[in-house]
Homo-oligomer: A and B are copies of this chain.
């Protein structure tokens, strides 16, 4: 039985450590800072799976020379408000922010900006990017494809990633509405946790290798697949599949990246597809100037009204209130900015291993 007990770490010190790890592999100071900022926000927002818990995987990829530490990120095709960016196999944590900035700069100039990105890697949490747009009074969209884990409805094998969609809307007095959702019914991490704890999982999360629904988390590890949001046909599983397909196409078919089952793996233990149909994985970013649609203050006031009306929905029994998308992460951020980032022992061990292999001190 593995412990889930955590130890608290300073967010700032974790970020400094992360920067040094990227510098160690020849990433420039500015880009190492940028990459660490993405991972750090994930930890602050309580999305533990996408923060420093992933640092050892980035470390592995760099060590094997699978990621280019000095990418030449370029626009390869363009038409005013839209373009395709080639990330030159750089860190997704560097390529993503750059491409997102291109989308926002285009929005500044053309009212909106839309960027499809190929030849990139795992970009962290999708909402990092939609948050950035808020700083410029824009509505920001962010999507990425990821390594195959999800079966299309009625399929018995992994063909799609968990392909998240994020979009955020600024409030005036209220904190923003931040939507960030994987298009699968459940996160892979939840299945790992259930397996570690020896528990069953809800019907609707996964199918086994034969394509049957199962409540055994071990079936996922042994060749099963996640189900799309909606789980089965009757509950709308075709809709989750369609949303995942939409993300796959906008990020990867449109940019020239590897789509669907051909997306290269992020982690070492994952199978490398025999066929390549493009370059790296793909992202998609959008930004729209709020001011092009409505007075910005008026829009923010209307978002405040929306938030307040929805918060006051009559709740079902056993729940205190309806949440606004982003609420749980806002709450986590409040706590963690004060108290620090709780890390489980497995993650701390990973960081210590990086420290040992690189000589970068991890003693805080």
A291 touches B79 (CB 8 A): yes
User: Which of B79, B153, B210, B306 contacts A259, CB < 8 Å?
Assistant: B306
Residues of B within 8 A of A243 (CB): 165, 179, 181, 243
Answer whether residue A216 sits at the interface, using C-beta atoms and an 8 A cutoff. no
A317 touches B212 (CB 8 A): yes
CB-CB contacts below 8 Å: A208-227 with B? 210-212
5 further interface pairs, Cβ-Cβ under 8 Å (given A114-B288, A139-B250, A185-B235): A112-B114, A183-B239, A242-B325, A254-B290, A260-B306
A242 touches B181 (CB 8 A): yes
Task: Give 6 A-B contacts (CB < 8 Å), ordered by A residue.
Answer: A78-B111, A80-B109, A116-B293, A169-B249, A186-B236, A245-B310
User: Which of B169, B277, B305, B316 contacts A156, CB < 8 Å?
Assistant: B316
Query: Helix, strand, loop or mixed for chain A's interface?
Result: mixed
A166 shortest CB reach to chain B, Å: 10
Q: A153-B323, A316-B155 are in contact. Are A306 and B249 (CB under 8 A)?
A: yes
Stretch in contact with the other chain, from A16-24, A38-46, A81-89: A81-89
Residues of B within 8 A of A104 (CB): none
Q: A80-B110, A82-B112, A322-B154 are in contact. Are A293 and B254 (CB under 8 A)?
A: yes
A183 shortest CB reach to chain B, Å: 8
Query: Residue among A82, A234, A325 with the most chain B CB within 10 A?
Result: A82
B81 touches A179 (CB 8 A): no
Q: A80-B292, A238-B325 are in contact. Are A211 and B317 (CB under 8 A)?
A: yes
A152 nearest CB neighbor, chain B only: B322
Residues of B within 8 A of A290 (CB): 254
Interface string of A263-291 (1 = CB under 8 A from B): 00000000000000100000000001111
The 8 closest A-B pairs by CB, nearest first: A79-B292, A211-B316, A82-B292, A155-B313, A80-B111, A82-B111, A79-B111, A81-B111
Q: A179-B246, A235-B185 are in contact. Are A211 and B315 (CB under 8 A)?
A: yes
A156 touches B325 (CB 8 A): no
A177 touches B254 (CB 8 A): no
CB-CB contacts below 8 Å: A307-326 with B? 309-310, 313-317, 319, 321-323, 325
CB-CB contacts below 8 Å: A123-159 with B? 139, 151-157, 159
B82 touches A289 (CB 8 A): yes
A236 touches B246 (CB 8 A): no
CB-CB contacts below 8 Å: A83-124 with B? 83-84, 109-112, 114, 116
A241 touches B83 (CB 8 A): no
Q: How far is the CA of A290 from the CA of B256 in the complex (A)?
A: 12
User: Which of B79, B212, B256, B325 contacts A289, CB < 8 Å?
Assistant: B79
Answer whether residue A163 sits at the interface, using C-beta atoms and an 8 A cutoff. no
A323 nearest CB neighbor, chain B only: B154
